[in-house]
């Protein structure tokens, strides 16, 4: 099963939404959270997502549509 | 000499052997090279360094290279210039410019990190190196791969102008233009780095690659006569450079090569249109809020910098601060450095000069303190930033009388 390692960054308006729950429930993804820092008005989660390729793509697209920033775990892979 | 303990997670401290890995398998934290300082202390002296070559490799014992240097033998040991004209202009006593706009071979400090990464790639038996870059990094990877006779793949966003890729293409890499948004290209490159057995210099080789930046800090200290300045102003993109200059100073101190107490304050310089690290510093928060870059300082345009948190911590630990520069101030900074010291820097250098000026004018930096301004790239790479700002002062017909009149005119305007 394909896996990706990503870092999700949440803007303030999404802090109270159950984003990770929706990823599991709606996209049938296996989630493994490794590190996170969630404050009252901002947060990020470093996690591994596992699922079939289509589900991963749909999940990532949904996250972006919600306003979550989705970066590879390395973040700045493209540099100037 | 066994000088490496291996790699160590910067977050949870878990140890790994010195292999091409970059992320802690447990907490996904970044890995960093861990040295045997007790061993190094018996070997590295001011004299041993001074006996080395006039390049960054005089500090080889403090870099993660274990065999022979494979590429970039002439990288580094760039001039540290006492910039008295600039100091006079800024109303300061002692200003130095560390000038990597003339770093060999590709005219930016990226040659320092890439020469380490490519040498490590050879050590680990890789035959292909890669990176995703729109500028300085691409230039440097392609150049060093050519020198090392390694295959190279350079990934760029498909909408990048041709003019920007010439200084990479000339070294004959395989250039892959990817259609898609910045985020899509970024993620694709991470997946490619994960799948292929290539040395992706700033991904799976990042722990080694980033160590090369320490040489910039070592040089500042040695060239100042083994002393540390009051302030160092560093341009920040991914945030790694400022942390590595600080690490270099701390290593020299720990090895007894600096005898005076270190009072250096590290200051971060970023563009107002892409300044998430400076925003953290100014708001005094360890939360980095990603931004969409919108600045002429393209070589600093990283909206979600991986080392942002560590850069913030470096600044806090040293007692430094940070300043943003607007596009207008960036151009003014480039022109000021050129006009006073004869150094043509890229936009990132304009950011640093402008930030230094602000930190001095606002009293964060005292005018009597010693100041080092970090210049990390060459202006000939980004001349477009100045197109609208410069023009020929005098246009004349090809006759002596025309010149005489023009000269008289100029003099009358000057008085």
- Kindly state whether residue A77 falls inside one of the protein's structural domains: no
CB B130 within 8 A of CB B406: no
Shortest Cα distance, chain A CAs vs residue B147, angstroms: 22
- Kindly state whether residue A42 falls inside one of the protein's structural domains: no
| Position B110 pLDDT exceeds 90 | yes
Q: Write B361-366 long-range contacts (CB < 8 A, 24+).
A: B364/B267, B364/B321, B364/B323, B365/B230, B365/B231, B365/B265, B365/B267, B366/B230
- Kindly state whether residue A30 falls inside one of the protein's structural domains: yes
Given its phi and psi angles, is residue B72 left (phi above 0), alpha (psi -120 to 50 degrees) or beta?
Answer: left
Could you list the residue range(s) of the whole structural domain that residue A62 is in?
17-37+50-67
- Kindly state whether residue A1 falls inside one of the protein's structural domains: no
ipTM summary value: 0.92
B298·A69 Cβ contact <8 A:
no
- Distance from C-alpha of B372 to C-alpha of B366, rounded to nearest angstrom: 13
CA atoms within 13 A on the CB side of B390: 11
pLDDT of A78 reads 85
A77·B190 Cβ contact <8 A:
yes
- Kindly state whether residue A2 falls inside one of the protein's structural domains: no
- Kindly state whether residue A58 falls inside one of the protein's structural domains: yes
- Distance from C-alpha of B195 to C-alpha of B190, rounded to nearest angstrom: 9
pTM of the predicted model, to two decimals? 0.95
Domain B4-68+110-209 has CATH 3.40.50.1100: yes
Provide the chain B residues 230-289 that lie in CB contact (below 8 A) with chain A.
237-238, 287, 289
Q: How confident is the model at residue B163 (pLDDT cuts 50, 70, 90)?
A: confident
> What CATH number has the domain spanning B80-106+213-386?
3.40.50.1100
Residue numbers in chain A where pLDDT is lower than 70: none
Shortest Cα distance, chain B CAs vs residue A13, angstroms: 14
Cis peptide before B105, with omega less than 30 degrees from 0? Answer: yes
- Kindly state whether residue A11 falls inside one of the protein's structural domains: no
Q: How confident is the model at residue B392 (pLDDT cuts 50, 70, 90)?
A: confident
- Kindly state whether residue A72 falls inside one of the protein's structural domains: no
Shortest Cα distance, chain A CAs vs residue B225, angstroms: 33
A80·B287 Cβ contact <8 A:
no
What's the mean pLDDT when you consider all of chain B?
95
Range(s) for CATH 3.40.50.1100 in chain B? 4-68+110-209, 80-106+213-386
- Pick among B130, B190, B308 to test the A interface (most A CBs inside 10 A): B190
Domain count, chain A: 1
| Position B28 pLDDT exceeds 80 | yes
């Amino acid at each position: 099963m394909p896996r990706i390692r990503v870092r999700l960054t949440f803007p303030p308006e999404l802090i109270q939404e159950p984003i990770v729950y929706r990823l599991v429930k709606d996209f049938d993804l296996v989630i493994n959270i490794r590190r996170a820092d969630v404050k009252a008005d901002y947060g990020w989660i470093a996690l591994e997502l596992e699922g079939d390729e289509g589900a991963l793509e749909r999940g990532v697209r949904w996250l972006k549509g919600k306003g979550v920033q989705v970066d590879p775990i390395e973040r700045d892979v493209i540099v100037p | 000499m066994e000088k490496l303990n291996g790699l160590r997670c910067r977050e949870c401290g878990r140890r790994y052997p010195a292999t091409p890995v970059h992320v802690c398998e447990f907490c996904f934290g970044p890995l960093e090279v861990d040295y045997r300082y007790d061993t190094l202390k018996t070997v590295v002296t001011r004299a041993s360094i001074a006996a080395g070559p006039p390049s960054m490799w005089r500090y080889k014992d403090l870099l993660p290279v274990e065999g022979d240097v494979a590429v970039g033998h002439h990288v580094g040991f760039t001039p540290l210039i006492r910039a008295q004209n600039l100091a006079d202009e800024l109303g300061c006593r002692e200003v130095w410019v560390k000038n990597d706009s003339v770093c060999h071979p590709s005219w930016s400090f990226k040659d320092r990190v890439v020469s380490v990464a490519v040498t490590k790639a050879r050590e680990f038996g890789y035959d292909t190196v890669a990176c995703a870059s729109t500028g300085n990094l691409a230039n440097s990877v392609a150049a060093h791969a050519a020198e090392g006779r390694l295959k190279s793949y350079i990934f760029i966003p498909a909408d990048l102008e041709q003019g920007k890729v010439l200084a990479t293409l000339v070294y004959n890499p395989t250039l892959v233009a990817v259609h898609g948004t910045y985020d899509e290209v970024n993620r694709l490159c991470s997946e490619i780095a994960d799948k292929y057995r290539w040395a992706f210099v700033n991904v799976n080789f990042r722990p080694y690659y980033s160590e090369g930046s320490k040489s910039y800090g070592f040089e500042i200290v040695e060239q100042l006569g083994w002393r540390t300045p009051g302030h160092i102003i560093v341009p920040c993109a991914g945030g790694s450079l400022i942390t590595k200059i600080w690490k270099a100073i701390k290593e020299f101190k720990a090895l007894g090569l600096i005898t005076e107490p270190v009072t250096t304050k590290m200051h971060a310089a970023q563009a107002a249109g892409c300044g998430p690290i400076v925003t953290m510093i100014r708001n005094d928060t360890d939360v980095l809020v990603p931004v969409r870059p919108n600045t002429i300082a393209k070589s600093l345009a990283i909206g979600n910098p991986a080392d942002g948190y560590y850069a913030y911590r470096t600044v806090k630990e040293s007692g430094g601060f940070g300043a943003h520069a607007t596009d207008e101030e960036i151009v003014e900074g480039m022109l000021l450095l050129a006009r006073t010291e004869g150094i043509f820097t890229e936009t990132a250098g304009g950011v640093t000069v402008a930030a230094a000026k602000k930190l001095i004018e606002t009293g964060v930096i005292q005018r009597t303190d010693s100041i080092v301004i970090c210049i990390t790239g060459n202006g000939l790479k980004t001349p477009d930033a100045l197109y609208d700002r410069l023009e020929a002062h005098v246009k004349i017909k090809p006759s002596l009388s025309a010149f005489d009149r023009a000269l008289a005119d100029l003099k009358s305007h000057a008085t």
